C-alpha cells in the first residue's frame, strides 16, 4: 500500500491543474480583447531593443531562486521535483471515460500537463513534513504575463467540481477565495479541499492553500497540502510565500 505521505505529492501537484483551469477562466471583454490584440500587433510590428524580451535564465540560475531548505522547517525532507515528469505521468489529463460535474468545468481541469512548451525554464522542489507537503515551482518564460491566474473567476464558475472515474474512484474539489499580499507584478491565492474516495472504500480528505505571484518573466507557485483534514496554518503559509517571492526576485 502506498504510504499516505507519498500519496500527497500528486494531490499537491494537482494545484498545477488548478492553475491551468484558473488561467483558462480568464476571458477579457470582447472590446478589451480586440484592443489588446490590435495593440499587440501594432507594437510587435516595430520592435525596439528596449522592448525585446530578456534572455531566459539557465536551469541552475533559476534553481538559485528556490527557497533554501531550512525555510521549510527542521523536520522537512526537501527534494528536487521534476514537474514535467511527475505531472505528465501522474495526471496528464482526465482518465478516459471520466465524467465531470458540472460538465463545463471539465476542460480546465483536464489541462494538467506541465509541458516543455508551457515554460522556457522550470524548476521545483517539494518539502515533506509530519503535517503535510509543500511544493514550490519557479518558472520563467517570455509568455508568463499571458498566464495570469483568474482564481476569482474559477471560484465563481466552479466552486465545486467532482470527477468520477470508470474504476469507481471519485474526487471532489471545493474551491474558495484566499487573500494573499500584493507581490511582484500580480499575485493571487486559492484555498481548496480535495476529497478522494477509492473503489476499495479508502477515503482521503485534505486541505490545500495555493499562492501564485508573477514578477517579470518569472512565475512563483507555492502550494501546501495537509496530511489530514486539520486546517492549515494560513499565516505561516503567507510568510513562506512572501519569502519565496523575495528569494526568486533576489536570484
186 CB burial (10 A radius; 0-12, 13-18, 19+): middle
Q: Is 130 domain-assigned?
A: yes
Per-residue pLDDT of the chain (251 residues; tens, 9 = 90+): 344 444 444 444 454 455 445 445 544 444 444 444 434 343 344 343 333 356 888 888 999 999 999 999 999 999 998 876 555 443 445 667 888 899 888 765 543 334 445 667 889 999 999 999 999 989 888 766 655 566 888 888 889 989 898 999 898 999 999 999 999 999 999 999 999 898 999 998 999 999 999 898 888 999 999 988 899 999 999 999 999 999 999 87
- 187 contacts 215 by C-beta, under 8 angstroms: no
**Domains contained in the chain, number:** 1
- 138 contacts 121 by C-beta, under 8 angstroms: no
123 CB burial (10 A radius; 0-12, 13-18, 19+): buried
- So what's the pLDDT on residue 152? 85
pTM: 0.77
User: Under 8 Å CB-to-CB from 52, ≥6 apart: which residues?
Assistant: none
Q: Where are the beta strands (DSSP E) in 178-231?
A: 186-197, 203-215, 218-226
Give the CATH number for residue 42: 3.40.1000
| Angle, vertex CA 111, rays to CA 163 and CA 34, nearest 5 | 125
- So what's the pLDDT on residue 148? 56
Q: Is 53 domain-assigned?
A: no
Q: Is 52 domain-assigned?
A: no
Residue 115: all three cell numbers together:
509541458
Q: Is 213 domain-assigned?
A: yes
Q: Where are the beta strands (DSSP E) in 61-202?
A: 77-80, 99-101, 121-129, 132-140, 160-164, 170-177, 186-197
The Cα 85–Cα 79 span in angstroms is: 15
Q: Which domain holds residue 30?
A: 4-46+58-250
Q: Is 51 domain-assigned?
A: no
Amino acid at each position: 500500500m502506498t504510504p499516505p505521505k507519498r500519496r500527497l505529492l500528486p494531490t499537491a501537484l494537482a494545484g498545477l491543474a488548478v492553475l491551468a483551469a484558473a488561467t483558462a477562466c480568464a476571458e477579457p471583454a470582447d472590446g478589451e480583447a480586440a484592443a489588446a490584440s490590435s495593440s499587440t500587433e501594432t507594437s510587435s510590428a516595430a520592435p525596439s531593443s528596449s522592448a525585446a524580451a530578456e534572455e531566459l535564465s539557465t536551469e541552475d540560475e533559476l534553481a538559485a531562486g528556490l527557497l533554501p531548505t531550512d525555510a521549510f522547517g527542521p523536520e522537512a525532507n526537501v527534494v528536487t521535483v521534476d514537474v514535467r515528469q511527475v505531472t505528465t505521468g501522474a495526471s496528464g489529463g482526465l482518465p478516459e471515460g471520466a465524467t465531470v460535474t458540472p460538465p463545463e468545468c471539465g476542460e480546465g481541469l483536464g489541462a494538467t500537463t506541465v509541458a516543455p512548451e508551457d515554460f522556457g525554464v522550470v524548476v521545483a522542489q517539494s518539502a515533506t513534513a509530519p503535517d503535510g507537503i509543500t511544493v514550490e515551482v519557479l518558472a520563467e518564460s517570455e509568455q508568463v504575463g499571458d498566464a495570469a491566474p483568474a482564481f476569482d473567476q474559477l471560484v465563481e464558475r466552479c466552486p465545486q467540481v467532482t470527477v468520477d472515474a470508470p474504476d469507481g474512484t471519485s474526487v471532489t474539489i471545493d474551491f474558495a477565495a484566499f487573500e494573499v499580499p500584493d507581490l511582484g507584478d500580480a499575485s493571487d491565492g486559492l484555498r481548496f479541499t480535495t476529497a478522494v474516495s477509492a473503489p476499495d472504500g479508502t477515503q482521503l480528505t485534505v486541505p490545500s492553500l495555493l499562492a501564485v505571484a508573477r514578477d517579470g518573466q518569472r512565475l512563483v507557485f507555492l502550494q501546501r497540502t495537509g496530511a489530514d483534514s486539520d486546517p492549515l496554518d494560513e499565516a505561516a503559509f503567507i510568510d513562506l510565500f512572501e519569502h519565496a517571492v523575495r528569494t526568486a526576485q533576489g536570484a
